[in-house]
Chain A
Amino acid sequence: MKAVDQPLASTSTTADPQGETLRLFQEHGAALYRFCRSVLRHTGDAEDVVQETFLKLLHHLQHDGDTRNLKSWLFTVAANGCRDRTRWRLRWLPWNAERDHRTVDPVDEEVRLKPDTTTVARKAFRALAPRDRLLLSLRAQGLSYKDIAAASGIREQSVGRLLARALDRWRKQCVA
């Protein structure tokens, strides 16, 4: 579990927004991707959201946006991107293997017969409500309560309570 990160204050100049964007991609791209992947549960969508987030960052830097806490800014934009993407998916309802109960996935069948701890934990995490997944994913990437509140649009005072409940629900799912 990562420690709470200090706010990333961009010390470098934004005279080169493209260079700065690429530098931040190197620094936070992987964490942002993992966050989006865990929220969206779709590799392609996660990559799209990460790309859109960094393009927005480029635009932000080109227009002299606030650079005091860019890590929090990135996760906030990515969280919004994930929400938009989820809404879009719900509207279009594409075929989704997890919702298609007509067939039996052989892998799932195998897991049911002999599930290991990691598989159970992963399935339990995927079964959580979107907001629970969002909060736990943000925290897993080392964001502070203040940054989680900004990214998820909830009050900072509620973050601890909601995180605790999300974790309890995950634990119950694991033993269910």
Chain B
Amino acid sequence: MRCLTDIEVQAVVDGEASDECRAHADACETCRARVDERRDQMETIASLIDADGMPASALELRLRHAMRDAGDVRGATVLRARRPSPWRSVGLVSAAATAAVIALVVYGVLPRLGAPTTLSASEVLSRSLQTISSGQGVERLEYEVAMDGMTDGPVVIRQVIDRDNPHRYKVASYRPDGTIATAISQDPVRQLRSQLFHVDGTNYIVRVGAIHTPVLSIPQMAQALVETSIGIMQAKSDQQLTIEDGPTGRQYIVEIPPVTPQNPTATLDLFSARAVISGTDFRIQEFNATGTILRQPFSVSVKLRTHEYIGGAATDESFAIRPGPDDVVLEGQADEDPVTELMTTVLRELGRARGK
């Protein structure tokens, strides 16, 4: 048989080729190489499309809502309020009042009494998990963190992360008085990594360029920790779900009542946890937990202040630590280990200061 045409090669890749073509592709080295090349290209395209991620978790809610209301109208219009004609409105006033009372009882009173709701605690956690892991673009977050042992009070964390390239990020922590405590940023695009420490009233910035391989992403590690915690919460059998409708919209509160530690050797275990999850986008608004991590007890409280996707507004500056006029900047050389790179830079500078 002659060598395959491009169309036949495509058909082999797509599993639509005839037996004869498939047999030839297996036997002919040239054609097999062409099939492999084309398959790689199709896989690249598939991965590009898959990178578009998951639909927002709110989409399913929209769909449920639209399905519930879908009667004589279909499509996106079901989400738009229909304008009743005046004569009809007048005739339906008493019916509407009755419906309003029923709605108030169903959506306002019963949930507070712990009546059954359409979503289980596990489903709420599952959607929250989906929201956490399906972020795209450049995301800016600000949250408050309080942990055991923090004598000065809670710190504020400001974080920028490029979800499409999670190794590109900046995280900075601020003390209760608003002064910066620490910061770290990494930008694989510009091959820069910076760390900032506030010591005796002065900011010291250690900056290295030409980083070979980006180190682990701190926001990703934190996210993994939250995802694991949510997974543990899901696995517990005694979750309690409360729904609250406030001025900012619906909130789901999932709690695990305090328990006696069962497995002190586990890498991460929760003794109690409480998550407040937005009913709009299933994003975690507050998270409080006690437990052990690496066999050490911990107690943490996190509260989301702001969250936004800045998309095209993100620039190189968004991922950079810019020194102030009084800050001390130490330039160093990149290393595989950021701790080594930090120590080497500082010690080298110390040596220079001592004239060595």
Q: Would you call B84 an interface residue if the criterion is a C-beta within 8 Å of the partner chain's C-beta atoms?
A: no
Which of A30, A55, A97 sits near B67, CB closer than 8 Å?
A: A55
Please, which residue of chain B has its CB at the minimum distance from the CB of A161? B7
The CA of A53 and the CA of B13, in the complex, are separated in Å by 29
- Binary per-residue interface labels of chain B (180-216) against chain A in the complex, 1 for a CB within 8 Å, 0 otherwise: 0000000001000000000000000000000000000
Q: In the complex, how many angstroms separate the beta carbon of B36 from the nearest chain A beta carbon?
A: 12
Question: Chain A residues near B179 (CB, 8 Å)?
Answer: none
- Binary per-residue interface labels of chain B (40-67) against chain A in the complex, 1 for a CB within 8 Å, 0 otherwise: 0111111011111111100110111011
Q: In the complex, how many angstroms separate the beta carbon of B4 from the nearest chain A beta carbon?
A: 11
Q: In the complex, how many angstroms separate the beta carbon of B310 from the nearest chain A beta carbon?
A: 11
Which of B6, B42, B70 sits near A1, CB closer than 8 Å?
A: B42
The CA of A168 and the CA of B45, in the complex, are separated in Å by 12
Q: How many residues of A contact B (CB 8 A)?
A: 51
A25 touches B63 (CB 8 A): yes
Q: Would you call B147 an interface residue if the criterion is a C-beta within 8 Å of the partner chain's C-beta atoms?
A: no
The CA of A163 and the CA of B41, in the complex, are separated in Å by 12
B41 touches A139 (CB 8 A): no
Q: Would you call A27 an interface residue if the criterion is a C-beta within 8 Å of the partner chain's C-beta atoms?
A: no
Q: Would you call A21 an interface residue if the criterion is a C-beta within 8 Å of the partner chain's C-beta atoms?
A: yes
Q: In the complex, how many angstroms separate the beta carbon of A67 from the nearest chain B beta carbon?
A: 18
Best-buried of B14, B56, B64 by chain A (most CB within 10 Å): B14
A35 touches B49 (CB 8 A): yes
Which of A106, A137, A163 sits near B14, CB closer than 8 Å?
A: A163
Q: Would you call B315 an interface residue if the criterion is a C-beta within 8 Å of the partner chain's C-beta atoms?
A: yes
Question: Chain B residues near A139 (CB, 8 Å)?
Answer: 14, 42
Stretch of B71-79, B235-243, B267-275, B285-293 contacting A (4+ beta carbons < 8 Å): B71-79
Please, which residue of chain A has its CB at the minimum distance from the CB of B136? A43
Some 27 contacts from A to B, beta carbons below 8 A apart, are A1-B42, A1-B46, A4-B15, A18-B67, A22-B67, A30-B55, A34-B49, A38-B52, A47-B55, A47-B62, A50-B59, A51-B59, A51-B66, A52-B75, A55-B78, A105-B312, A106-B315, A110-B189, A110-B316, A125-B45, A136-B45, A137-B49, A139-B42, A140-B42, A144-B16, A160-B11, A160-B14
B positions within 8 Å CB-CB of A = 6-11, 13-16, 38-39, 41-46, 48-56, 59-60, 62-64, 66-67, 70, 74-76, 78, 189, 312, 314-316
A positions within 8 Å CB-CB of B = 1-4, 18, 21-22, 25, 29-30, 33-35, 37-38, 46-48, 50-52, 54-56, 58-59, 97, 105-107, 110, 114, 118, 121-122, 125, 136-137, 139-141, 144-145, 160-161, 163-164, 167-168, 170-171
